[in-house]
Structure 1
Amino acid sequence: MRVGDDITELVGPIGRISAFPTVDELNGFADALSAAHPDRISSTEIGRSRGGDPIREVRVGAGRQHILVFGNPHPNEPIGMATIRHLLGRMAEDDALTLGATWHFVLCVDPDGTRLNESWFAGPHTRTGVARGFYRPPAVEQPEWCFPTVWRGHPVGVPMPETKALMTLIDRTRPALIASLHNAEFGGGFFYTTGGDPEYWSALTERLVAADVPIYHGQPDAPGARTVAQGVFELPRFDTMADRLTAQGVDAVAALGGGGCRDYAARYGTAILVCELPLWVDPRIGDGSAGDRVLGDLLDATAADFRALAEVAADVLGRVSDRLSGRSPFERSVRALIAGLPGLATSRQTVPGRHRIATRGEIFVGQYDWTAMLRLRLGGMLLRMLEAECRRDGSPVLAMERDRFAAVFAGWCADVEQNAPGVPIPLERLVRIQAEAMMLAAIRLRHGLAI
């Protein structure tokens, strides 16, 4: 079996993509496919979001084994919606491309949150452009991390309506594989799996190499994740992550929300594949040469930056607290980030190997990946909150704080654009990586190989 050739042919050509599809555009695309291929494509509403948007499953194929694909489980990560659009279009035309499986594409797991990001989907795809339209819900409002589970004898995880829709689909299909499509803003590409072997893991990272996207060399963002190969990590269960965070002095339930799809689908022996891809890259991230700082000093400085960021945002909220409506999704996210930053700072200071010299790549990542990313995320949402509250209230106090913080945020953006704007990765390359990774897993599933 020549896996590489098979995957390239199965995924097919991908034309230039200049914008991510919106919720309505992807729904319209699926409707048109269903109308054109009623014998091959079916669409089912499996639930409703908190805002009343339908959570839609689009099915193609009729095989014994079921594959679930989650689009936009985090609403600021829209690569997967473009990937779903491409694969659905291909599979609608040729049944052989389903590889003998039944595919269930959940077009958008969090349509409410996605709509709050759509202002940047068409560009400009710069770090500042994305930050100005950014929204990411707190952990307890992330559908993929609200699955019910049990930790240390206590139930955790309060399923949202979107999560309940996914639970219903998982119970109905008992999937052999769930592919969850994610992306980050900056850095390298990597994958989470729940199994496999060295051949599988290297074939996954070969997708990155072929698309000229660097492999991520850092620590996994999931606490307690085990590295199985460079750029491939084992996706941990909730209890593993929670135990690790608790040992670091972090409130695990507040940080994580609840169980993930791995925890819920484990009863069916479901394999999980998570594709994590960046929108921008910078060659300095992979610089393994010795820098001019001790790692412990770097980690302490990063932790101090996190705590200072929390203090800046908390001060803003404190000055306008009596003018806020309390109903803003941006306010909930900002408050959750403020509450979580001290724990994130503590976790940075517990990284082993503190006495060695940091690499230049680690120094760059500490300043312009983690710290800058959090400034842009938190700052963008805080400014959007202030702008929305000004439109609602018109208070001079709110307007003054909006203008004051806008200048602070502009400084953070200018720093990033001058020192680490990143090189944008063509969107079609990102779609190809996700599509090829899923087809690779599906091929191996068909041949009875470990995934």
Structure 2
Amino acid sequence: MVDQVSKIVGAVERIDSFPTVDELSEYVDKLVDAVPGRVTVTEIGRSRGGDPIREVRVGSGARQVVVIGNPHPNEPIGMATIRHLLGRLTADDAQTLGATWHFVLCLDPDGTRLNEGWFAAARTRTGVARDFYRPPAAEQPEWCFPTSWRGTAVGTPLPETRALMGLIDRTRPGLIVSLHNADFGGGFFYTTGGDPDYWTELTDQLTTAGVPIYDGEPDVPGASTWAPGVFELPSFQRIAETLVADGVEPLAMMYGGGIRDYATPHGTALLVCELPMWVDSRVTDNTPSGHSLASVLCSTATAYEEIADIVSGVLDRISERLTGRSPFERALTDTVRALRGNAIAKRSATESCTATLGEIFIENYVWIGVARLRAGGMLLRLLDEELRHEPSAEVAAERAHFAAVFEKWCTDIETNAPGQPIPVHSLVTIQSSAIVTAVGRLRGGLPL
């Protein structure tokens, strides 16, 4: 199977940027003209902003596979991966592994367009932060599926979510692959099952590319660990129960079910690929630190609260200017809510084991560092947006004050954890190989 995966994936073109929404769509249009009869493009819905949600179908086998690009708009590796796989699969029908493939080019085109400023730029952690956008939880299509919690209906599907629901109901897929990327740290995967061979095949893709395997705690509450770098994708119910146990109100943190919740009645297996854009070998340093893990997590909670206080303070002081029209305002309000909830969960940890230096590094420069860069970049974009809309000495003063804080955060990252950017072609190779591995197992009737 390893040889077959390598043959199907082939050599990935060396590229320095991620495709934009329009570039990927134009590529597909040209592909339809180049290989007529092998590609079918269907508009399965429209985004809230009016962009088409396009599904590209390749192959004609009985097994159905859905691959989702950009479920989160700041995670564009998947769009580059889809472009590569479309080129490979349409070149030879035998490459489809007896499946019908349904590629959702970009699930959130509106949000993706707000990130495109960094897709072709020199990729630094702080450079990306300055053009960063991530929607609030209630505006994330992959987490707005209808479900219920203790008798309460949860989840109002967005137009993008409804488009995906229709595709799932129509195809009843054996496998859904959702293509994500982490910012910094190691690579990891979520699955709904499998076996040690499968999990090793997935993480071997990381090792081959020189990407560290993330072996810390999963970032989704309630997720179990199948193997180092491979976690179980939990249901909404499991996540909610875990949050309750941590003293957090689930419906204050989540606004709907995930794909697993919706696709489970169809017997669908899921694979989520989480790849970092930067790496640092310190994430795998297992040297004991002399500090308990609980105390380290408590420090993270304090840092989360400090970020939330800074952001909410700015929002409060300019509240008379804010109308809710800005995606950055909505995202930041949600960021404050999430940081406070995550702080409660971190502070509830009681692990008495000694934290490793790697775990401390991850808390400081993955979780805290990412939170600072994301919140800071979006807050500056909001303030700039407000100044363009209606110049104000008050807003200009807030911007100047916060810009100094943000520059300190950026200097800390650039000095202590800039990371080594992973070449785009390596990221595409890992994701493509993981997808083909899973589809090969689907064909062979192996657990996923």
Query: Structure 2 length as normaliser, TM-score?
Result: 0.99
CA contact (8 A) 1:22 1:118 kept: yes
How far apart in 2 are the matches of 1:124 and 1:87?
25
Aligned-pair distance for 1:298? Answer: 1.4
Q: Secondary structure at the match of 1:18?
A: coil
The equivalent residue for 1:289 is 287
Matched, 1:447 2:406: no
The equivalent residue for 1:194 is 192
How far apart in 2 are the matches of 1:53 and 1:162?
10
Aligned-pair distance for 1:363? Answer: 1.2
Aligned-pair distance for 1:349? Answer: 1.9
The equivalent residue for 2:362 is 365
Unaligned residue ranges in structure 2 (runs of 5+): none
The equivalent residue for 2:394 is 397
The equivalent residue for 1:247 is 245
Aligned-pair distance for 1:292? Answer: 3.6
Where do residues 52-131 of structure 1 align in structure 2 (5 Å cutoff)?
52-131=50-129
Q: Secondary structure at the match of 2:273?
A: strand
Percent identity over paired residues:
60
Q: Secondary structure at the match of 1:272?
A: strand
- CA offsets, 1:250-305, max 9 Å, x none? 22123122111110011110000000000011111110011142322212111111
Aligned-pair distance for 1:318? Answer: 1.5
CA contact (8 A) 1:323 1:398 kept: no
The one-letter amino acid of 1:345's match is A
In the comparison of the two structures, how many residue pairs are matched? 448
Match of 1:413 among 401, 407, 410: 410
The one-letter amino acid of 1:141's match is E
The one-letter amino acid of 1:250's match is V
The equivalent residue for 1:300 is 298
How far apart in 2 are the matches of 1:50 and 1:383?
24
Aligned-pair distance for 1:45? Answer: 0.3
- CA offsets, 1:359-400, max 9 Å, x none? 111111111111111000001111100000100011111111
CA contact (8 A) 1:140 1:254 kept: no
The equivalent residue for 2:312 is 314
The equivalent residue for 1:18 is 16
Where do residues 222-241 of structure 1 align in structure 2 (5 Å cutoff)?
222-241=220-239
Match of 1:38 among 6, 20, 36: 36
How far apart in 1 are the matches of 2:262 and 2:298?
37
Aligned-pair distance for 1:154? Answer: 2.0
Unaligned residue ranges in structure 1 (runs of 5+): none
Aligned-pair distance for 1:102? Answer: 0.3
How far apart in 1 are the matches of 2:165 and 2:312?
36
Aligned-pair distance for 1:341? Answer: 1.2
How far apart in 2 are the matches of 1:231 and 1:151?
29
- CA offsets, 1:317-342, max 9 Å, x none? 12111122421000001011111212
How far apart in 2 are the matches of 1:322 and 1:362?
42
The equivalent residue for 2:264 is 266
Aligned-pair distance for 1:149? Answer: 1.1
Aligned-pair distance for 1:19? Answer: 0.2
Further displaced range: 157-166 or 34-43: 34-43
The one-letter amino acid of 1:424's match is P
Match of 1:166 among 156, 161, 164: 164
Aligned-pair distance for 1:230? Answer: 0.9
Further displaced range: 291-300 or 15-24: 291-300
CA contact (8 A) 1:69 1:179 kept: yes
The CA RMSD measured in Å over matched residues stands at 0.9
The equivalent residue for 2:141 is 143
Further displaced range: 339-348 or 427-436: 339-348
- CA offsets, 1:31-51, max 9 Å, x none? 100111121001000000000
Q: Secondary structure at the match of 1:155?
A: strand
Q: Secondary structure at the match of 1:63?
A: coil
How far apart in 2 are the matches of 1:130 and 1:250?
31
The one-letter amino acid of 2:435's match is M
The equivalent residue for 2:338 is 340
The one-letter amino acid of 1:105's match is F
The one-letter amino acid of 1:95's match is D
Aligned-pair distance for 1:193? Answer: 0.6
Aligned-pair distance for 1:16? Answer: 0.8
The one-letter amino acid of 2:158's match is M
How far apart in 2 are the matches of 1:32 and 1:154?
47
Aligned-pair distance for 1:62? Answer: 0.4
CA contact (8 A) 1:135 1:377 kept: yes
Aligned-pair distance for 1:60? Answer: 0.4
How far apart in 2 are the matches of 1:293 and 1:271?
39
Matched, 1:183 2:189: no
The one-letter amino acid of 1:366's match is E
How far apart in 2 are the matches of 1:249 and 1:340?
14
